[in-house]
Amino acid sequence: MKLLRMFVLTLSFYSLTSLAQDVPVDELPVATIASNYYITLPEIPVENYYYVDISHLVFENEAQAVYLLRAYCQGNLITCQVFYPEHYMIIRIHTEYLPDGEVDRAKLQTYLGHLPKPPAE
């Protein structure tokens, strides 16, 4: 069972990595992220992928960046791929999981606001 979990985890990592590499970064709409990891989508129709600049966030190293961004910026409807050396991440909105493919930007933004956030200092 442990071997099966490791295989599935490895397979999903490679599929996510290869998928993110196929996305033309220069053409993606830009979303923003606040220091409390709150993601704000632009006022346009919802897209499947967004570019997010993370250069203003402070991390000790790449491992911490990946850990924190995945802990606070992922959920059932959103996943992220972190490109730490280049100081950005790509988020993917999984519209296929929405009922009837209905994408309401305001509801999606509310959903993003309910993702876990770090404790206030």
Would you kindly state where each structural domain of the chain is located, as residue ranges?
Answer: 25-113
Q: Over the chain, what is the mean pLDDT?
A: 85
Report the C-alpha gap between 63 and 67 in whole angstroms. 6
β-sheet with 39-40: strand ranges across = 39-40, 30-33, 49-53, 88-93, 78-83
Q: In this predicted model, which residue has the larger pLDDT, 50 or 17? A: 50
Q: What percentage of the chain reaches a pLDDT higher than 70? A: 81
Tell me: pLDDT of 100 over 90.
Answer: no
pTM reported for the whole predicted model: 0.78
pLDDT tier at 21, thresholds 50, 70, 90: low
Cβ atoms of 89 and 78 closer than 8 Å: no
Dihedral over Cα of 84, 33, 59, 16: its sign: negative
Report the C-alpha gap between 70 and 60 in whole angstroms. 15
Mean pLDDT of 49-71: 97
Report the C-alpha gap between 115 and 39 in whole angstroms. 10
Tell me: pLDDT of 15 over 90.
Answer: no
